[in-house]
Amino acid sequence: MSLWYYVLVSAEKKRHPFFKSKIAKATAIGAALTTAVVGVKAYEHRELLGLYADLTISHVQDRTIIDFTEQTDPNITRDRKFIDSYNLMNRNFGVDNDLLLSSEHGWTYASAWPYGRAIDACYVATLLPNIGDSYKEDYQKRLNAAQRYWNTDPEGYPPGYDPGLRAWHGGERIQRYVDDNLWIGAMLARDYRQSGNKDHLEKAQEIFDLAISQWDEKGGGGIFLKEQLPGETERQKPIVSNGNAIILAVDLYEQTKDKRYLDWAEKILKWTDENLKDDSEGIYSDALKVDKLERAKFTYNQGIMVGALTKLNGVDPEKYPLKMAFDVANSALDYFNQRGYDNPSFDSVFFRGVLYFAGKYDNPEFTQKAHKSLVAITDKLAGGYQELSTHASATLFKALEILPPDQYKLLL
């Protein structure tokens, strides 16, 4: 067994100096032991050591993210910009020595979107056979640490998640992004379904109230990307704030049986289909900006809508047959398989939604098609990403690649 440990650590030390820490070494041993137990037969189509080493890296790396959100540097100033990325892999320090990622440039924190990608990656890791249980505690820590972004706001606006740690702005009013809130809200609703944590259900309900507070009734409907504070001129209504609202609304309806959530889900879907569905391509455009359609087609928009339509099928299969989700999922796979994938953060959201649908659809031919496309992307991922969103998404890809199909239905 010492040979397994030596190969794993030696290979990864060259790329990741932080593997020198005691915690990382212990985790590496655990990963190597797990690899030996799982056996080559289960994952004979992949390189075991590379996969488990990367999962170990994410395990240690993202644990640091949680710990530093639990502390506040007294020297932080309110005008400092939020940083979406950090460079951990080139720093020679042990995670058990300095949990605040300090550097010559000051303190580095993740904002809500990339932090959400790290939470998502860890959640999918909890679903993996044999090793999933080892990630469950860390997943809960990451999910709970998201409360460091929560702000009840003294000005009377709905409470919600700020784009960065609330300690950074000392109570100053900051415009919230609806999609940031909805990504986390869906995670909280899913956790309530699995754990029964009522605090998470209540938070998810508050997030939904924030989202529909940005519904543009006078402008014909649609939810804005961010709060429309006085003087706001960016009147953008994208898939990320509408499709994700459908997903959360259905989740809340299923958990509470309050029909207003289902009514909202159907209302939002109607607006989204009328304004953002491109019938010629069978997929969705990105956003409506004022009265101009932004026709760009992004992968994560399709994954969101596939998930939303699949969720609606679960509550009303006659009105929302699985064929609706299939048509979007299949058209999107054909569209992007031809044009290519180039954003791991967006692409991982796409495949999470498509595989979630595949778990409900239970069609081996479609599942194989989706999985083949996913593997083709995973094989091309460069590794060594320093931006949290991209690093976490690349790790999520590797977890999705070996996730058994019977677990797909748990992805959303």
In the 8-state DSSP scheme, what is residue 252? H
Side chain identity, residue 258: D
d(CA 363, CA 341): 24
- pLDDT tens digits, 70-90: 333 333 332 223 222 222 222
Handedness of CA 286, 262, 191, 173 (dihedral sign): positive
Cα 307 to Cα 127: distance, rounded to the nearest angstrom: 18
Which two structure tokens, joined as six digits, stand for 94?
């042990």
**Residue 270 confidence (pLDDT) above 80:** yes
Residue 330 has pLDDT above 70, yes or no: yes
Q: Which amino acid is at 363?
A: N
Q: Identity (one letter) of the amino acid at 376?
A: A
Task: Find the range with the poorest average confidence among 15-19, 157-161, 342-346.
Answer: 15-19
Q: How confident is the model at residue 226 (pLDDT cuts 50, 70, 90)?
A: very high
Task: Assign 156 a pLDDT band (cuts: 50, 70, 90).
Answer: low
Q: Residue 83 has which token pair?
A: 């940083």
Neighbouring residues of 400: CB distance < 8 A, sequence distance ≥ 6: 124, 348, 351, 352, 355, 374
| Residue ranges covered by each domain of the chain | 111-410
Q: Is the pLDDT of residue 250 over 70?
A: yes
Does the 111-410 domain belong in CATH 1.10.10.10?
A: no
Q: What is the mean pLDDT of residues 370-374?
A: 98
Mean pLDDT of the chain: 76
Residue 261's pLDDT is: 98
Reported as a pLDDT band with limits 50, 70 and 90, residue 193 is: very high
Work out the pLDDT band at 170, boundaries 50, 70, 90: low
- pLDDT tops 70 at residue 154: no
Residue 377 DSSP SS3? helix
Closest Cα to residue 353, out of 381, 334, 326? 326
Predicted local confidence at residue 411, as pLDDT? 97
Give the integer Cα–Cα distance in Å for 307 and 124.
16
243 in Cβ contact with 265 (< 8 Å): no
Residue 255 CA, distance from chain mean position: 21
Above 80 in pLDDT, residue 69? no
**Mean pLDDT (whole number) for 282-295:** 94
User: In angstroms, rounded to a whole number, what is the distance separating the alpha carbons of residues 42 and 7?
Assistant: 20
| Long-range CB pairs of 35-41, under 8 A, 24+ apart, other chains included | 35/4, 36/1, 36/4, 37/130, 38/129, 38/130, 38/131
The pLDDT of residue 252: 98
pLDDT interval class at 404 (50, 70, 90): very high
DSSP 8-class letter at 177: B
- pLDDT score, position 384: 64
Predicted TM-score (pTM) of this structure: 0.78
pLDDT beyond 80 at 352: yes
